[in-house]
Amino acid sequence: MSTVDGKTVRVALLGCGTVGTEVARLLTEHADELAARAGAPVELAGIAVRRPDKHPELPQHLLTHDAAALVESDVDVVVELIGGVDPVREWLLTALRKGKSVVTANKALLAEHSAELFEAADSAGADLYFEAAVAGAIPLLRPLRESLAGDRITKVMGIVNGTTNFILSAMDSTGAGYAETLDEASRLGYAEADPTADVDGYDAASKAAILASLAFHTRVTASDVHREGIANVSASDIAAAKALGRTVKLLSICERVASADGTESVSARVHPVMIPRSHPLASVGGAFNAVFVEADAAGQLMFYGQGAGGAPTASAVLGDLVAVARNRVIGGRGPRESAHAALPVRPMGQTPTRYHVSLDVADKPGVLAQVAHVFADHEVSIAAVRQRDRNDTASLVIVTHLAPDAALQATVEAIGTMDVVNEVVSVMRVEGEDS
Amino acid sequence: MSTVDGKTVRVALLGCGTVGTEVARLLTEHADELAARAGAPVELAGIAVRRPDKHPELPQHLLTHDAAALVESDVDVVVELIGGVDPVREWLLTALRKGKSVVTANKALLAEHSAELFEAADSAGADLYFEAAVAGAIPLLRPLRESLAGDRITKVMGIVNGTTNFILSAMDSTGAGYAETLDEASRLGYAEADPTADVDGYDAASKAAILASLAFHTRVTASDVHREGIANVSASDIAAAKALGRTVKLLSICERVASADGTESVSARVHPVMIPRSHPLASVGGAFNAVFVEADAAGQLMFYGQGAGGAPTASAVLGDLVAVARNRVIGGRGPRESAHAALPVRPMGQTPTRYHVSLDVADKPGVLAQVAHVFADHEVSIAAVRQRDRNDTASLVIVTHLAPDAALQATVEAIGTMDVVNEVVSVMRVEGEDS
């Protein structure tokens, strides 16, 4: 049953931080098991690190600082865990053009240059796998690329950034503001020294681009993704959400949107969202990620697991490594880029969303009528209103039906200028409830 | 990007009930999309049904009652949706031996004869895919076979049978007994006319065998799986669970178990389990399935979705169909059977489990000491005790630490014969809490 008769698969490892160290360890410790699964020994042929002298824990004869030379050497698979676009992009293009398979966790690179990378892979018949680039250990990309290949995916929505999820969960439980909570997250090691990529949504936007591309067979890059981070989420927003049995999460949302004339487009966006506390995503805390997928035939699916960390990410890398090694052994290859649908990407302003708007208004008759009039002027339909008196002011909470995001934005702007409106307390998009 | 230059892949469909009808529909309606994904047109070449005259809705020229002849004809892939072992087994062996790929949802067949089927597939270089056999639409088998191929899975535990889940959920919410609730489930169409396969755990045991085989690279058949159904779950069991903030679910549990001497074995079992209401599996209701997977590097993962139904199951079948079609187009093939670990299957009596025991005892001093003595005699360690008075009797609830199942069974038997014990109200295994 267990045939390990294939030619040894030689692996170059680029980068050896938290994830790379785990990959190197598992490759060595589980060598027999991996060989049985791949059908050939899988051997670490070299490890490129910036400063070889800083890695006394690694086999010294494998270390090099020359990643370019390692890629050009006699290796079959390149595992890239350095991250960032340059100079990694050139190395991986070189590897693919020479027919070497590539396994990478590099979301930033894939979110901008996947077309070029896939073309290089296709022309040389090489594999490009990247399960670890989105949602760490969770097997998510393979199901999207393969299991659902016969279905029609309509929506992918989830929590794919652990730092922002930690901060929002903490704000929800303590009632503290954003800046204070970010400081605490940094102190505890949940936020990087420069947290921009996480808190401004760049990381989640790269992942949304990768997810939308796979789900809708369309090339979507990070620059196509509408991006809002969590820096503007205030303690008032969190309190307003709580008062309504909701919580705030930063979600990556990829949707197939049909126009009135039946033509389809893709919406990909990252922004804070209010969801009901009963929603399965509401209870996802800490470093965990969770992603919902909706498809015509399959219905609703959820995937849950650890989104980051050395060992979980290494698990995803090794799964890919076994797959590309096995493909080499049997002379096949994995799924290629699937971009045949080539749907247009819909601008955020034209994307249908729902808003929650919380207002502090004058407590006198006719205010609701005036405010409702502004919504109507912008052709935004109201789903629910809640009004509460507070001394001589009143709070007015409005949740809309679906409307183009631009119309909702314009409505909120107009309301902010009304005499009877003292303050726009909170504005946030809503997901996960019937409209 | 979109290359559909491969030779047409001709598909034989065996069986055309709820799932088959959806498969035939999707194959026709999404022909262009499927062709783009597979790299070649995927064409329905024939449909074998018992009574062709009963299917006016299907293309008449494709229908035949002769499945054996259809398998032998000029087709590349056989999709089998008839179910049961004979005569399907012979047809699929014939197909595989002739190098035709097989996609099947037949859990009963796979749980008993997968070794033979995989050997036939291997010797001819054909693909055998069966995502739809477990947990319907949920992409579960592909992640186990491929995404986690570089990791070491330690446990797979989940709800994989919708009928029993419906009945137990209903008993939990109404407080009604088993027989009454089964009748109601039959009336509503949630249970078959002959519910044996579901309520006695045969269906869940077949699925456990498939999951354990994939997770632990070991051949596990349905007859290796310890099986207890839900017919003995009483209203008292449900009430006892409720009183402790728990609920009862029928779980399929596959575990890697290490002996004191370090040798490993596999435990595969299906039985009712008490889990805390806060456990993610506790809130899985109706037709939904959910499966937890624990792996050394990946940590804890959860997969959730629809476990049955025509369209969801068809989604899984089509995902497999696209994969095997693409493998044919590019001349590769998917993962083979992985049974290299060949771990022994541990008998249930030697499997470590935890028990919840609820007793009605005489209300006098020293009863707990006597009962605790019996646990100690069997070397079963007690984790928690709760005692409550009720007139001249008292209720005594004991939850144990892990112990061999046979020791726990013997303990319960011995306790049942004690003078101070009026009644053993409920005995049930416990999962999902710290021991």
Q: What is the pLDDT of residues B345-355, one digit of tens each?
A: 999 999 999 99
Nearest CA in chain A to B341: A33
Q: Cβ of B306 and A298 within 8 Å?
A: yes
CA distance A144 to chain B (A): 9
Helices (H), A217-309: 235-243
Choose the mutation target among A146, A264, A317, A322 for the interface with B, i.e. most B CBs under 10 Å: A146
Contacts of A333 in chain B (CB under 8 A): 330, 332
- Parallel, antiparallel or unpaired: strands B355-362 and B421-430: antiparallel
> Do residue B317 and residue A150 have CB atoms under 8 angstroms apart?
yes
Of the candidates B265, B268, B264, the one whose C-alpha atom is nearest the C-alpha of residue B254 is B268
The predicted model gives B224-244 an average pLDDT of 95
The CA distance from A101 to A126, in Å, is 5
Residues B26, A139: C-beta atoms closer than 8 Å? no
H helices of A264-380, where? Answer: 310-330, 367-377
Whether residue B119 is predicted with pLDDT greater than 70 in this model: the reply is yes
B152/A131 Cβ within 8 A: no
> CA-CA distance, B428 to B233, in Å (whole number)?
9
**Residues of A in Cβ contact (< 8 Å) with B338:** 1-2, 36-37
What is the structure's pLDDT at A2? 47
Q: A207, A242, A249, A364: which one is catalytic?
A: A207
For residue B52, cis peptide bond before it (omega within 30 degrees of 0): no
How far is residue B233's CA from residue B425's CA, in Å, rounded to a whole number?
11
Query: Is A301 close to B150, i.e. CB distance below 8 A?
Result: no
Q: What is the C-alpha R_g of chain B?
A: 24
| B137 contacts A139? CB cut-off 8 A | no
pLDDT tens profile A126-162 = 999 999 999 999 999 999 998 998 899 999 999 999 9
Q: Could B142 and A137 be called an inter-chain contact, meaning their C-beta atoms sit closer than 8 Å?
A: no
CATH number of B348-430: 3.30.70.260
Distance of CA A370 to the CA centre of its chain: 40
Give the per-residue SS3 of B80-119: ECCCCCCCHHHHHHHHHHCCCEEEECCHHHHHHHHHHHHH
Query: Would you write out chain A's pLDDT as a tens digit for each of its 435 residues?
Result: 346 778 999 999 999 999 999 999 999 999 998 998 898 999 999 999 999 998 998 999 999 999 999 999 999 999 999 999 999 999 999 999 999 999 999 999 999 999 999 999 999 999 999 999 999 999 999 999 989 988 999 999 999 999 999 999 999 999 999 999 999 999 998 898 899 999 999 999 999 999 999 999 999 999 999 999 999 999 999 999 998 899 999 999 999 999 888 899 999 999 999 999 888 899 888 778 999 999 999 999 999 999 888 999 999 999 999 999 999 988 878 888 888 889 999 999 999 999 999 999 998 889 999 999 999 999 999 999 998 877 778 899 999 999 999 999 999 999 999 999 999 999 999 998 764
Do residue B299 and residue A312 have CB atoms under 8 angstroms apart?
A: yes
Distance, in Å, from the CA atom of A272 to the CA atom of A250, rounded to the nearest integer, reads: 4
Order of strands across the sheet that contains A101-104: A63-64, A42-48, A9-14, A77-80, A101-104, A128-129
Residue numbers in A near B304 (CB within 8 A): 280, 301-304
The mean predicted confidence, pLDDT, of chain B is 93
The alpha carbon of residue A27 and the mean position of all alpha carbons in its chain are separated, in whole angstroms, by 27
Report d(CA B229, CA B271) in Å as an integer: 6
What are the chain B neighbours of A36 within 8 Å (beta carbons)?
Answer: 217, 338, 340
Chain B, nearest residue to A140 by Cα: B143
| DSSP string for residues in B51-77 | -GGG-TTS-GGGEES-HHHHHHSS-SE
Taking the CA of residue A108 as centre, how many other CA atoms within 13 Å lie in the half-sphere pointing to its CB? Answer: 15
CA-nearest residue to B337 within chain A is A1
Give pLDDT, residue B2. 46
**pLDDT class of B434 with cuts at 50, 70, 90:** low
Residue A1's pLDDT is what? 39
Check B311 against A331: CB less than 8 A apart: no
CATH number of the domain located at residue range(s) B9-137+310-330 in this protein: 3.40.50.720
**CB count in 10 Å sphere of residue A235:** 16
Residues of chain A with CATH 3.30.70.260: 349-430
- Domain(s) of CATH 3.30.70.260: residues in chain B: 348-430
Closest CA to A88 of A133, A122, A56, A148: A133
Query: Closest Cα partner for B322 from B34, B24, B5?
Result: B34
Q: What is the pLDDT of residues B375-430, one digit of tens each?
A: 999 999 999 999 888 777 889 999 999 999 999 999 999 999 999 999 999 999 99
**What is the spatial distance between Cα B424 and Cα B359, in angstroms, rounded to a whole number?**
5
**CB-CB under 8 Å, B2 with A340:** yes
CB contact under 8 A, A150 and B315: yes
Nearest CB among B318, B335, B342 relative to A150 is that of B318
pLDDT in tens, A55-92: 998 999 999 999 999 999 999 999 999 999 999 999 99
Best to test chain A binding among B117, B147, B326, B333 (most A CBs inside 10 Å): B147
CA distance A130 to chain B (A): 11
- Nearest CB among A302, A330, A340 relative to B332 is that of A330
Q: Out of B149, B152, B303, whose CB is closest to A322? A: B149
- The larger pLDDT score, comparing residue B93 to residue B259, is at B93
User: Which of A288, A339, A271 has the alpha carbon at shortest distance from A117?
Assistant: A339
Residue B182 CA to residue B194 CA, distance in Å, equals 11
Which residues in A lie closer than 8 A to residue B22 (C-beta atoms)? 297
CA of B250, closest CA in chain A: separation in Å?
21
Give the containing element (helix H, strand E) for A393. Answer: strand A393-400
What is the phi/psi pair of residue B325, to 5°? -65, -45
- Interface contact flag, A338 B146, Cβ < 8 Å: no
Nearest to A304 among B302, B315, B330 (CB): B302
Nearest to B319 among A22, A146, A330 (CB): A146
What is the torsional sign of CA B47, B130, B121, B222?
negative
User: Domain B146-306 has what CATH class?
Assistant: alpha beta
| C-alpha to C-alpha distances, B392 to B310, B370, B395, B397, nearest whole angstrom | 55, 18, 10, 17
Residue A113 region, left (φ>0) first, then alpha (ψ -120 to 50), else beta?
Answer: alpha
Strand B128-129 to B101-104 pairing: parallel
Residue type, A230: I
Residue B191 main-chain phi, psi, to 5 deg: -125, 145
- Which of B122, B283, B315, B337 is the best mutation test for A, with the most CBs of A within 10 A? B315
Residues of chain B with CATH 3.30.360.10: 146-306
Which residues of chain A neighbour B315 with C-beta distances below 8 Å? Answer: 148, 150-151, 295-298
Residues of B in contact with A281 (CB under 8 A): none
Q: Which SS3 state, helix, strand or coil, does residue A246 take?
A: strand
CATH node for A149-306? 3.30.360.10
Give B9's contacts (C-beta < 8 A, 6+ positions apart). B38, B40, B41, B42, B43, B76, B77, B325, B328, B329
Take residue A387 and report the two structure tokens written for it: 């009004």
Alpha carbon of B431: minimum distance to chain A alpha carbons (Å):
19
Question: In terms of CA atoms, which chain A residue is nearest residue B138?
Answer: A301
- The verdict on a CB contact (< 8 Å) between B340 and A1 is yes
Q: Which of B147, B151, B304 sits opposite A142 (nearest CB)?
A: B147
B137/A301 CB distance under 8 A: yes
Q: Which residues of B touch A31 (CB under 8 A)?
A: none
Give which of A140, A195, A89, A418 is closest to A306, Cα–Cα.
A140
CA–CA min distance A214, chain B (Å): 11
Which part of chain A has CATH 3.30.360.10?
A: 149-306
Residue A100 bears catalytic tag: no
Which CATH number is associated with domain A349-430? 3.30.70.260
Cross-chain CB nearest to A305 (options B296, B302, B326) = B302
Q: Which residue of A has its CA nearest to B27?
A: A150
What is this model's ipTM? 0.88
Count chain A–chain B contacts defined by CB atoms under 8 A: 205
Residue extent(s) of CATH 3.40.50.720 domains in chain A: 9-137+310-330
What are the chain B neighbours of A338 within 8 Å (beta carbons)?
A: 1-2, 36-37
Quickly list DSSP for B349-404.
Answer: GGSEE-EEEEEEEE-STTHHHHHHHHHHHTT--EEEEEEEEETTEEEEEEEE-SEE
Pairing of strands A299-306, B299-306: antiparallel
- Report chain B residues whose CB lies below 8 A from the CB of A314: 297
Q: Which residues of A touch B26 (CB under 8 A)?
A: 150-151, 297
Spacing of C-alpha A428 from chain mean position: 20
Q: Which two tokens stand for residue B243?
A: 């009183």
pLDDT in tens, B310-333: 999 999 999 999 999 999 988 878
Encoded tokens for B414: 């011995």
Instruction: Choose the closest CB to A326 out of B151, B317, B335.
Output: B335
CA B344 vs CA A431, B255, B264, B291: distances in Å: 48, 12, 8, 23
Nearest CA in chain A to B35: A150
